[in-house]
Structure 1
Amino acid sequence: MRTIIIVLWKYRLSLSKYVPNPHVRLIVVAPQRMLCDERNIDVYYQVEPPIRDHHHCQLIQKVRELCSMLATTDRRIVVFEKALQQPIAQIRMELDIEGMKPNELDRVLSIRNNHSVPRRNGFSTLRQCSLSGNPQPEHWLETVTSQRDSVSHNEQFVVEEYVENGHEFCSLFTAKRGLIGCIASTETHRAVLECIQNQQSYALEYLSANQTRDYLPGLESFSVQVIKSVFSSDYLGVLFIRGYYKDHNDIFLFGFSFEPDCETYRLLCAQADCPWEDIAIESQFNLHENNKNGMKSASPPSSNKQIHSCVVNFPTAEGVLIHQATIPKRQSDIRVAWRVPEGQEMKNADTMDDNVLQVFLWGENRMQLLADCSHVLQYTDITIDKNILSDKHSACRKNASNRLNAKELVRSCTTAD
């Protein structure tokens, strides 16, 4: 009997599609309301940590206690959040549990090793230079500050090459199951980061394993070589490989992680027949089991219908949202999600999750899906008032100048008056 301990912090997990295995026991340790479906687990330990507990002390203490109690059994620990990777790796090292250890985690997730290790194995990576080795990095930091809200001067920054005319992708891969799927940008003439900084709408498409082989040939073999060159043969988890795709012989590696980089990726992956969380749990099963969890759901349906899906993001812009307009239906199935209420002040988007509107499209005809996606990108208007914030700023400056007048007496009134 193998025991798998699933640790959650801020990410809500749904195991509604998970197929229980009689030889595996599932234990979940998480705060309240982090587990959407409790029917497919064996034990649920609820932990209510204090507010702003960034070190996850109570959560990690409970996991360490469970691992000590189950010392005589075959234990595995699974996490889906980046913030929990380091403390869980420390528990694996202290209690001799199979999985990623702290030194291996640091080596894999290092900014430098993300490119230097694959480059030594013959992969094409983006050219880069480190600001820490630059004697005068101030002008670089000024450029970074102009694109982001703030910059920590104690952090390590790397300047990377910008690649044009390619699809930005994030492929999902496991050593046991192989290619799971891929998220790719639908346009090649502009980068996703460029769209976010310029507050321009853009689209991302989710491709299953078979669809990836059809539309992005060569990406599967590229992912296989990456996971073989970077990780040891005993790594069983899910790997998210990021890069740029031009053609089957021209693929650039951008980096990799153990979980989706943003909530948008999570929402796209959730539309798959077999969620990546179920596959991450299934990858911890024994290799001798013939009836693996999720194999039937991960394969194409018997009717050979391939569902294509994508999302159109509309980044936030500085101003106030005036009206949540109605998005008309298209021939493809559509779901509309307004992320900002009417009348709320917004700032310019910094990440892929800073969106005022998200439109999800899916259907069996990919050409029709891309046509509907292009129509949404072109003809969706969002009313944002950008003058309100400037009026408020000018009013604040006016009030501040009036208070500086020596002839004006400012007196605070209290109930004692």
Structure 2
Amino acid sequence: MLAQAPQSVDLPSIESNGNGSGSFDEMATMYGGRMKTIIIVLYKYRLSLFKMQKPSNVRVFVVTPPRLLADETGIDVIYQVETPVGDQDLSPLLQKTRELAQTFSTTQVRVVAFEQTLQHPLAKMRYEMDIEGFTHEQLDVLSRIREASQLTRRGGIATPKQLSFSGSCRPASWMESLPGQIGGFPLYVRPASGSADAGKSIVGVTRLVSEDDLRMWIRRIYSACSPSSDWVLEECYEDGLDFVVMCTAISGLVYCISTVDYDRTMFESISTGKPYAIQAYSIDQTRDMMPGLESFVNQTTKALFANNYSGALFIRGFYKGHNDIFLLGVELQPSSETIRSLIAMPKESPGWESIALMSFFATDASEFDFDCTSFNAVINVPSTEGILMHQTMIAKRRTSLMRVAWRVAEGAEIKDSDGIDGNVVQIFMSNSDNGRMAEEIKDVVSRLDIPIDRNTLNERAAACRKQLSRLGAAREFVRSCTTTD
């Protein structure tokens, strides 16, 4: 149980302009180890802690460049730090963070970041200052999960079968190795430094369905790529659901974000430009809709972190059934804006950043049960190369609440989607009846009619822009959201 501040003692004030260092020293001395100090470091990430509730013995400080706080709710002190323009110099941010950590060293200090760029520098600072949190070794484990499958297999966690090779090898040797190491087709092939996860990026990833496809691909890379390039052939999962689970050290699973169609994977939908739906499930909803997943998450975290961990994790995987679940990767932050939006959709739920911070001061798992009474989903319509001719009206359905967000302007040139966030339009839906929402998702998808000119050459694009300019508007009209209200 967290110790509470004595009611008979008035807390010293904290000045928001960062000039109250004397008050900080008094507070640290007064409360000693009973106080918790959370220092958030921002570099480019725009942060809002709306809906976050924290105990009276927790203080939140933010070290940030200008204009990165969308909402200051829940923050006690903000330190604005100027960083060099167009440079990766993090030293001003790290110097201020180190100063704060030293000032409050008598309290329980946590140093937190929400972006990949800051993770390793802060891990080094934690090690040097003996601050609890993710270490360099743990970050390396997360980045090597696919290539170091022994880390998960010893815990009984299944990962994709892989075959790594170099372009300097003989193509015949690749063909000979396939049956024994991967088992056959279909499979993914990707650069060794890339990813085959459609939730992140599909750039450079190819799906091969036969030996003929592999031979054609080999001929293509030998004519277009460096012979010394490194590649990975990887098992391709089908007939299941792509998922991302948010979990914390205290509560385990908090939210699950999953596709809803067993017949077509997210990679296939994005690469072919077909609409697909993604749904968010709370703890109880996950237990009902995807049995076995909660146990898989607990088993995975124990296999990866024998000595436990602090904060929040995002586990990516593929679900075929309660005994047939595969691990694809683990990260410290969501890989897409779509996942962030889905976690924040339930009106009872704070954003993922607030949930991650709550994991540092929550006392038990019940604090992560947000009692979600609705089901929430989004329909993604991947962008395809061409020009969007018109943002059509999408009618609201009878029972589901809907929000339609156009991500492309009329007359804009667009390219093929390269991931979960590359969409022409997104349709967010919420309903207390999951079965009814599923029916309305199918109805929306079947009636979608988005006019995209896919036979566009450079002169055609110029002609389209010229036609738009004749409308008399000084600039293109962009509707960010449209429904039939």
TM-score range, shorter-chain basis? 0.7 to 0.9
| 8 A Cα contact 2:249 2:310, kept in partner | yes
TM-score scaled by length of structure 1: 0.84
Shift of 1:90: 1.3
Q: State yes or no: 1:268 paired with 2:342.
A: yes
CA distance in 2, matches of 1:155, 1:79: 34
Tell me by how many angstroms 1:124 deviates.
1.9
Residue 415 of structure 2 aligns with an amino acid whose one-letter code is K
Are 1:242 and 2:316 counterparts? yes
Distance 1:146 1:270 in 2: 30
Query: Contact 1:108/1:114 (CA < 8 Å) preserved in 2?
Result: no
Give me the whole-angstrom Cα distance separating, in 2, the residues matched to 1:196 and 1:261: 16
Contact kept, 8 Å, 2:250 with 2:359, in 1: the verdict is yes
Q: What does 1:238-317 align with in structure 2 at a 5 Å threshold?
A: 238-272=312-346, 273-274=348-349, 275-285=351-361, 287=363, 295=367, 298-300=369-371, 306-317=373-384
- How far apart, in 2, do the equivalents of 1:192 and 1:211 lie? 21
Q: Could you say if the C-alpha distance between residues 146 and 90 of structure 1 is closer, same or farther in structure 2, counting changes exceeding 3 Å? A: closer
Which residue number in structure 2 is paired with residue 135 of structure 1?
Answer: 169
Letter in 2 for 1:340: V
Amino acid of the structure 1 residue aligned with 2:245:
S
1:106 to 134, 140, 152: 140
Which of 108, 117, 120 lines up with 1:74 in the alignment? 108
1:177 aligns with 2:215: no
Q: Which amino acid aligns with 1:174?
A: T
SS, match of residue 36 in structure 1: strand
- CA distance in structure 1 between the partners assigned to 2:387 and 2:163 by the alignment: 39
2:385 counterpart letter in structure 1: E
| Other-structure match for 1:35 | 69
Cα deviation 1:144-182 (Å, max 9, x = unaligned):
74859x999999753321111111111111221121010
- Determine whether 1:94 maps to 2:128: yes
How far did 1:113 drift? 5.2
> Which runs of 5 or more structure 1 residues have no equivalent in the other structure?
396-417
Tell me if structure 2 keeps the 8 A contact 1:115–1:254.
no
Corresponding position of 1:335 = 403
CA distance in 2, matches of 1:258, 1:128: 24
The CA deviation at 1:286 is 6.8
Q: Distance in 1 between matches of 2:41 and 2:56?
A: 21
Change in Cα spacing, 1:7 to 1:144, as seen in structure 2 (3 Å) is closer
Task: Map 1:35-54; keep pairs closer than 5 Å.
Answer: 35-54=69-88
Distance 1:83 1:132 in 2: 29
Match of 2:436 among 368, 379, 387: 368
Cα shift at 1:130: 2.1
Superposition TM-score, scaled by structure 2 size? 0.73
The letter of the residue matching 1:101 is T
Q: Does 1:186 align with 2:220?
A: no
Q: What SS does the corresponding residue of 1:229 show, helix, strand or coil?
A: helix
Tell me by how many angstroms 1:244 deviates: 1.2
Map Cα deviations across residues 340-375 of structure 1 (whole Å, 9 max, x no partner): 111111111111111111000001011111111111
Residue aligning to 1:386: 454
Pick one of 12, 26, 35 that aligns with 2:60. Answer: 26
Q: How far has the Cα of 1:26 moved from its partner?
A: 0.3
Distance in 2, Cα, partners of 1:368 & 1:98: 46
* Pair 49,132 (structure 1): closer, same or farther in 2 beyond 3 Å: farther
How far 1:103 moved relative to its partner?
2.4
CA 1:166–1:95 in structure 2 vs 1: closer, same or farther (change >3 Å)? same
Does residue 356 (structure 1) correspond to residue 432 (structure 2)? The answer is: no
| Corresponding residue number in structure 1 for 2:235 | 161
Partners in 1 of 2:391 and 2:236 — Cα distance? 35
Letter in 1 for 2:278: L
Cα drift, residue 245 of structure 1: 1.1
Shift of 1:30: 1.9
Query: Does residue 1:7 correspond to 2:41, yes or no?
Result: yes
| Alpha-carbon contact 1:144-1:151 (below 8 Å) kept | no
Matches of 1:201 and 1:84 in 2, distance apart? 34
Q: Which residue of 2 aligns with 1:216?
A: 290
Distance 1:220 1:153, change over 3 A: farther
Instruction: Give the aligned residue type for 1:327.
Output: I
Give 3-state SS (helix, strand or coil) of 1:11's partner: coil
Which secondary structure does the structure 2 equivalent of 1:213 belong to? helix
Whole-angstrom distance in 1 between the partners of 2:61 and 2:41: 9
Q: 2:392 — aligned with what? A: 325
71-80 or 260-269, which deviates more:
71-80
Residue type matched to 2:329 in 1?
Answer: G
Shift of the 55–201 alpha-carbon distance from structure 1 to 2, 3 Å rule, reads farther
Do the aligned partners of 1:31 and 1:47 also contact (CA within 8 Å) in 2?
yes
Q: Which stretch of structure 1 is more off in the superposition, 380-389 or 49-58?
A: 49-58
**SS in structure 2 of the partner of residue 6 of structure 1:** strand
In structure 2, the CA distance between the partners of 1:344 and 1:104, relative to structure 1 (3 Å rule), is same
User: Residues 302 and 308 of structure 2 are in contact (CA less than 8 Å); yes or no, is this contact kept in structure 1?
Assistant: no
Distance 1:44 1:51 in 2: 20
Q: How many matched pairs?
A: 385
- Name the residue aligned to 1:400: none
Counterparts of 1:271 and 1:227 in 2: how far apart (Å)?
Answer: 26
Change over 3 Å in CA distance of 1:375–1:11 after alignment to 2: farther
| C-alpha displacement of 1:8 | 2.1
1:205 to 271, 276, 279: 279
Residues 115, 255 of structure 1: 8 Å contact kept: no
> How many Å apart are 1:70 and its aligned residue?
3.0
Alpha-carbon contact 2:315-2:329 (below 8 Å) kept: yes
Q: CA–CA distance in 1 between the matches of 2:56 and 2:379?
A: 41
